[in-house]
């Protein structure tokens, strides 16, 4: 109770006043409020941020202030006085509904000597207001002074004096007031069934709830309902009472968690395992979350977590067989293909019976790279996909849990980016429970030097997620918080955070010396008993268990470990497949691994899709479409009638035909619904009605698969990660992510490097994700030109010096063996085929596709339906079909190129009338490199000089990738020279004139004989 003053004075600090005063007094505020209200009438969001400002606890507070002011203007701060005097405030009749344990202020007559029924005197009112303010202060600030740190080294630097004296001085309460009864306001549940309590009891209860081992941060939430829900779950008397059975279960789980690390430490003392010592309670915590969630209907939990405690989680949460885990320490060869990963990155997938709830549960821990937090959006995407395929629209059956380190949670921006997906209609997973294993250190850096926010969890405040800080040495407090978190998610389907404040008993890893850098902290840690011992002592002292029982539980688990250890010794190989996080049951079985289904479709299908795609909604008369779009639709219809397709139509043909075949298509990225270049227009907007839209691709066939196209948040890292996760879940879906411009994909580099490029090799996990990357040197400056295709190509895993054996299966075998496909298509038909091929393949590979900008409207970049209908297929190289191709022996020069520069080259060739002398060949699939076709084409043009022409700079584009492969394809018998821009540090010039000069030079150079 002694710290009530601190909490109270903080709540009423000048800053707190300022916050209220700003919105109340700013000139023009009322206009702004009016405007905001008008906007809200048009746009409604799902987000909590859309709730009116004067809502929830704030509104109640304002009303309380108003009532106090009515009785005595001097009792409120001068800013409130000024505001209420201005006559702008009217008490809202419905903002603070009277609840069971509330009474209007006029009813205060307790203990202050006022006669029942008579108006209370001003002291009574003041005192009640003071008590209300104290309650509120505890709710707002209690967490700042709670005992969260087991080591007690992290003292919040709070202003003010926390002595008992100053509490009484400030509130005019003396020792004699402690027994006075006070009515409890509707904003507290500490009374239980009682409507009033003595002051002493009020302070005691508040202190216990808010300043003990749990610190609840929630009063920033803009929802009165949610705030009340939290208050109720923490304040109701008795919530922290556990039955002896529950306590024994916690002890048993904690014993396993602790025993696991101890066993590994004993058997593999020099191996890195990133143990959980100091935060072992995380294991019982996760189990509690899963138990409660399962009880509430969840059937599948997808988890993402970093290195710390991962093996323990696999062993004791997922119940991955211990021998498989121990085998990872044995340094065995792998029995299957791939390069594998270190043991503390591997994923797993397990289906088992939850013994506590007696319900079946699926648990997946998603494999992840070292890159901290990179897995967060991947987990979200995978969760979302699983919800989607199960028809779990509210996230009642599938949920995600993300586990974080304290330093990474606040340091890595992707956490913020992922948080911002949490409430978006096409990305929400309906609430994630975040668990921070907060050991108060990141490697060798302590929080004072690694963050500027008071807590490592502050990022979660942006999405109004409640944050439950808890001392990791108090297992019962931790379990309570976990139970509340699981119930919160099941009730509100919003994110919440559990901050498990513990410590790290060892160094960053087991062979690291922490005393080099944290000597004082580690002196404390050395003397600190571990959580299991503390809890066992407590349970023994209170008579819940005996010392013998404690020992026997520990011994039993050690036996289990020993048996598994012996079994692991008999293993001769590790199997990467044992660690797969997303098995695709049935997908590979019975399939010819080298057979690609045809990608052409019946012409009537193309016509049907084309017609639908160019039609306004069926209720067109009422649905007002923008005039410009009517023209777009009419132009599409013309194309369909002429049986030709432009880029957007070709894409729609691919999507529509896949949807017809039952393949779910999901396209996501910034502004993808319309398309950055205004070419796609998949979503038509009613010009007069908000949110009234029509998406013809969702209405192609009555029994089609679902089509989803969604503008994303302005994030690449999280959204690409999300789509990658989505693509992992089901192979029978085409999942595409489009960058606004290709170069923006580099802000998602770790998803590209760590997951997309290498995921199959490391984790035997396949993904058919498509990355659409607008690319092309069109004079738009350095940042809107290049998708840095050279980087993708540099990561392609085909050997430049190896020409695979030629056979009918050459192309598909190459695709099978490589890590991903990199292509730059120049025709809508080829774009259509390569998209469809993603699904036609008997395996899945990511596709990196350079996509056009100006070609979207280029009159020549159109394809006849015949190039998309039955019998047609994707062309890895498009040969020269003009005079040069028809008479190759006379051709003097063959220009190989890739992408849009082809159209510039042909134009120049026409201008120079060199159609018979210069052949232009398009390498559409750059990687895996079409060795066979290059050889075949070069052989046609026996007498020609061979050049590679590209518009990208020499150190960029495809040149460095294709050059050695050309030589391999040609068996080093002929040379291929480079034509194009010089090497450059930047991707493109910012000067239009220079751009044109460079382009002309390269075209002139290429088209010359």
Ligand X SMILES: Cc1ncc(C[n+]2csc(CCOP(=O)(O)OP(=O)(O)O)c2C)c(N)n1
Asked if 714 and 417 touch (Cβ cutoff 8 Å), the reply is no
The entry of ligand X, Mg ion, none near residue 479 (CB within 5 to 8 angstroms by kind) is none
> 254 Cβ partners below 8 Å, 6+ apart?
280, 281, 283, 284, 475, 531, 532, 535
CA–CA distance, 894 with 918 (Å, rounded to integer) = 6
Chain-centroid distance of CA 283 in Å reads 23
499 binds Mg ion (CB under 5 A): no
Residue 368 site contact among Mg ion, ligand X, none (CB < 5 to 8 Å, cut-off depends on kind): none
- The rounded distance, in Å, linking the Cα atoms of 829 and 653 is 9
User: CA separation (Å) from 859 to 640, 641, 650, 654, 864?
Assistant: 15, 17, 14, 20, 13
Provide the mask over 728-767, with x wherever binding to ligand X is found by CB under 6 A and - wherever it is not.
Answer: ----------------------------------------
Q: Which residue is nearest to ligand X (CB)?
A: 405
Does residue 920 bind ligand X (CB under 6 A)? no
As a whole number of Å, the CA-based R_g of the chain is: 33
405 binds ligand X (CB under 6 A): yes
Choices 117-125, 403-411, 661-669, 824-832 (CB under 6 A): range interacting with ligand X: 403-411
Q: Least CB distance from residue 773 to ligand X, whole Å?
A: 23
Stretch that binds ligand X, among 376-384, 399-407, 524-532, 644-652 (CB under 6 A): 399-407
Nearer to Mg ion, 374 or 919 (CB): 374
Residue 129 interacts with ligand X (CB under 6 A)?
no
The pairing of beta strand 770-774 with beta strand 733-738: parallel
DSSP H or E stretch at residue 921: strand 918-923
Nearer to ligand X, 376 or 495 (CB): 376
Residues in binding contact with ligand X, number by CB under 6 A: 15
Q: Which residues pair with 217 in a beta bridge?
A: 467
Q: Residue 216, interface with ligand X (CB under 6 A)? A: no
Task: Find the shortest distance in angstroms from Cβ 406 to ligand X.
Answer: 4
CB of 380 to Mg ion, least distance (A): 22
Q: Give every CB contact of residue 888 below 8 A, 6+ residues apart in sequence.
A: 919, 940, 941, 942, 944
Site string for ligand X, 424-443 (x = CB under 6 A): -------------x-x-xxx
Contact indicator for 949, 898 with CB cutoff of 8 Å: no
Interface positions, 297-316, toward ligand X (CB under 6 A): 308
* 408: contact with ligand X by CB under 6 A: yes
Tell me, what DSSP letter sits at residue 462?
A: G
Nearest alpha carbon to residue 458 among 426, 502, 497: 497
Is residue 873 part of the contact set for Mg ion (CB under 5 A)? no
Instruction: Give the per-residue contact string, 386-415, with Mg ion (x = CB under 5 A; - = no).
Output: -------------------xxx--------
Alpha helices in 614-679 (DSSP H): 627-642, 647-660
By the rule CB under 6 A, 17 interacts with ligand X:
no
The CB-of-301 to ligand X minimum distance in angstroms stands at 21
Nearer to ligand X, 365 or 441 (CB): 441
Please give the Cα distance from 696 to 708 (Å, whole number): 11
The 494-523 site mask, x for binding ligand X (CB under 6 A), equals ----------x---x---------------
DSSP string, 951-986: EEETTSTTHHHHHHHHHHHTTTSS-EEEEEEPP-SS
372 binds ligand X (CB under 6 A): yes
The entry of Mg ion, ligand X, none that residue 370 binds, CB within 5 to 8 Å by partner kind: ligand X
- The span of 180-188, 211-219, 365-373, 998-1006 binding ligand X (CB under 6 A) equals 365-373
- In terms of Cβ atoms closer than 10 Å to its own Cβ (0-12, 13-18, 19+), residue 586 is exposed
> Which residue, among 879, 950, 958, has the nearest Cα to 919 in the 3D structure?
879
Which of residues 362 and 371 has its CB atom nearest to ligand X in the complex? Answer: 371
Rounded Cα distance between 4 and 16, Å, is 17
DSSP 338-354: S----GGG--EEEEEEE
Between 444 and 711, name the residue whose CB sits nearer to Mg ion. Answer: 444
439 binds Mg ion per the rule CB under 5 A:
yes
State the binding partner of 372 from Mg ion, ligand X, none, CB within 5 to 8 A by kind.
ligand X
Distance set, CA 144 to CA 18, 133, 226, 250 (Å): 20, 17, 21, 27
For residue 447, the minimal CB distance to ligand X (Å) is 9
Q: Which is nearer to ligand X, 276 or 398 (CB)?
A: 276
Closest CA to 984 of 1008, 950, 1007: 950
Q: Does 381 bind Mg ion (CB under 5 A)?
A: no
Q: Report how far apart, in Å, the C-alpha atoms of 266 and of each of 320, 561, 563 are.
A: 20, 11, 15
Nearer to ligand X by Cβ, of 310 and 900: the residue is 310
- Strand partners of residue 361: 352
Q: Does 150 sit near Mg ion (CB under 5 A)?
A: no
Q: Quick check: 744 and 772 in contact, CB under 8 A?
A: no
407 binding ligand X? (CB under 6 A)? yes
**Least distance in angstroms from the C-beta of 634 to ligand X:** 51
- Binding flag, residue 281, ligand X (CB under 6 A): no
Interface with ligand X by CB under 6 A: which residues?
308, 370-372, 405-408, 437, 439, 441-443, 504, 508
Interface with Mg ion by CB under 5 A: which residues?
405-407, 439, 441-442
């Amino acid at each position: 109770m002694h710290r009530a003053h601190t909490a109270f004075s903080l709540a009423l600090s000048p800053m707190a006043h300022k916050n209220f005063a700003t919105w109340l007094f700013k000139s023009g505020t009322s206009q702004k409020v009016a405007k905001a209200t008008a906007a809200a009438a048009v746009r409604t969001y799902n987000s909590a941020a859309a709730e009116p400002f004067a809502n929830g606890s704030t509104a109640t507070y304002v009303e309380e202030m108003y009532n106090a002011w009515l009785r005595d203007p001097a009792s409120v701060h001068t800013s409130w006085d000024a505001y209420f005097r201005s006559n702008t405030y009217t008490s809202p009749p419905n903002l603070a509904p009277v609840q069971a344990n509330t009474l209007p202020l006029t009813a205060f007559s307790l203990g202050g000597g006022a006669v029942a029924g008579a108006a209370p005197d001003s002291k009574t009112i003041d005192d009640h207001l003071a008590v209300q303010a104290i309650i509120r202060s505890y709710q707002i600030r209690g967490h700042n002074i709670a005992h969260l740190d087991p080591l007690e080294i992290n003292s919040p630097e709070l202003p003010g004096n926390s002595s008992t004296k100053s509490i009484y001085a400030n509130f005019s309460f003396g020792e004699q007031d402690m027994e006075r009864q006070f009515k409890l306001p509707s904003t507290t549940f500490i009374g239980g069934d009682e409507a009033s309590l003595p002051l002493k009891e009020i302070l005691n209860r508040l202190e216990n709830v808010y300043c003990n081992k749990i610190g609840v941060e929630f009063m920033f939430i803009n929802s009165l309902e949610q705030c009340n829900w939290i208050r109720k779950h923490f304040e109701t008397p008795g919530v922290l009472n556990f039955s002896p059975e529950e306590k024994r279960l916690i002890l048993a789980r904690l014993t396993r968690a602790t025993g696991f690390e101890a066993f590994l430490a004993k058997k593999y003392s020099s191996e890195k395992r990133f143990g959980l010592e100091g935060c072992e309670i995380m294991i019982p915590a996760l189990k509690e979350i899963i138990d409660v969630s399962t009880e509430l209907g969840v059937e599948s939990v997808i988890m993402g977590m970093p290195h710390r405690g991962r093996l323990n989680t696999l062993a004791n949460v997922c119940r991955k067989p211990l021998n498989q885990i121990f085998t990872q320490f044995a340094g065995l060869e792998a029995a299957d293909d791939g390069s594998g990963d270190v043991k503390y990155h591997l994923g797993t997938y397990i289906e088992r019976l939850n013994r506590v709830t007696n319900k079946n549960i699926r648990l997946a821990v998603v494999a992840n790279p070292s890159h901290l937090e990179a897995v967060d959006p991947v987990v979200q995407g995978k969760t979302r996909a699983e919800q989607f395929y199960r028809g779990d629209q509210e996230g009642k059956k599938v949920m995600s849990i993300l586990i974080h380190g304290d330093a990474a949670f606040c340091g890595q921006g992707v956490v913020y980016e992922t948080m911002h997906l949490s409430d978006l209609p096409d990305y929400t997973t309906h609430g994630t429970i975040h668990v921070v294993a907060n050991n108060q250190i990141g490697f060798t850096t302590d929080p004072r030097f690694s963050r500027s926010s008071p807590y490592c969890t502050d990022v979660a405040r942006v999405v109004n997620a409640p944050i439950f800080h808890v001392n990791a040495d108090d297992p019962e407090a931790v379990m309570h918080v976990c139970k509340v978190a699981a119930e919160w998610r099941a009730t509100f389907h919003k994110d919440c955070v559990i901050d498990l404040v513990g410590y790290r008993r060892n160094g960053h890893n087991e062979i690291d010396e922490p005393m080099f850098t944290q000597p004082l902290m580690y002196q404390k840690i050395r003397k600190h008993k571990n959580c299991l011992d503390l809890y066992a002592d407590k349970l023994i002292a209170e008579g819940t268990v005996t010392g013998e029982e404690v020992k026997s539980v520990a011994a039993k688990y050690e036996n289990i470990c020993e048996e598994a250890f012996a079994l692991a010794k008999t293993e001769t190989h590790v199997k990467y497949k044992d660690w797969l996080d997303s098995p695709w049951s049935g997908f590979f079985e019975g399939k010819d691994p080298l057979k690609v289904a045809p990608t052409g479709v019946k012409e009537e299908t193309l016509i049907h899709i084309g017609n639908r795609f160019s039609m306004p909604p069926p209720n067109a008369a009422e649905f007002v479409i923008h005039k410009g779009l009517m023209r777009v639709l009419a132009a599409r219809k013309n194309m369909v009638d002429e049986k030709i397709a432009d880029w957007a139509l070709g894409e729609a043909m691919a999507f529509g035909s896949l949807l017809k075949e039952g393949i779910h298509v999901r396209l996501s990225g910034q502004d993808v619904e319309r398309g950055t270049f205004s070419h796609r227009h998949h979503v038509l907007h009613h010009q007069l009605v908000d949110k009234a839209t029509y998406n013809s691709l969702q209405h192609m066939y009555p029994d089609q698969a679902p089509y989803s196209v969604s503008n994303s948040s302005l994030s690449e890292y999280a959204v690409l990660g999300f789509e990658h996760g989505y693509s992992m879940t089901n192979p029978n879906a085409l999942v595409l992510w489009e960058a606004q411009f290709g170069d923006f994909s580099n802000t998602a580099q770790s998803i590209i490097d760590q997951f997309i490029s290498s995921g199959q090799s490391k984790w035997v996990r396949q993904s058919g994700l498509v990355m659409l990357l607008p690319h092309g040197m069109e004079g738009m400056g350095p940042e809107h030109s290049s998708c840095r295709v050279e980087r993708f190509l540099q990561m392609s895993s085909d050997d430049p010096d190896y020409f695979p054996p030629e056979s009918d299966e050459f192309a598909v075998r190459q695709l099978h063996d490589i890590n991903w496909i990199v292509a730059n298509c120049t025709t809508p038909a080829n774009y259509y085929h390569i998209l469809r091929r993603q699904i036609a393949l008997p395996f899945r590979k990511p596709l990196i596709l350079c996509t056009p900008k100006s070609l979207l409207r280029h009159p020549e970049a159109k394809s006849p339906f015949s190039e998309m209908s039955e019998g047609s297929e994707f062309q890895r190289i498009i040969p020269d079909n003009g005079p040069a191709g028809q008479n190759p022996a006379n051709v003097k020069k063959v220009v190989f190129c890739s992408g849009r520069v082809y159209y510039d080259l042909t134009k120049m060739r026409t201008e120079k009338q060199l159609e018979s002398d210069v052949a232009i060949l398009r390498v559409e699939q750059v990687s895996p490199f079409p060795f066979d076709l290059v050889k075949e084409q070069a052989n046609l043009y026996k007498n020609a000089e061979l050049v590679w022409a590209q518009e990208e700079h020499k150190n960029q584009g495809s040149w460095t990738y294709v050059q050695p492969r050309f030589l391999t394809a040609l068996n080093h018998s002929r040379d291929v020279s480079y034509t194009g821009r010089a090497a450059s540090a930047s991707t493109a010039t910012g000067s239009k004139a220079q751009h044109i000069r460079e382009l002309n030079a390269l075209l002139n150079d290429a088209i010359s004989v």
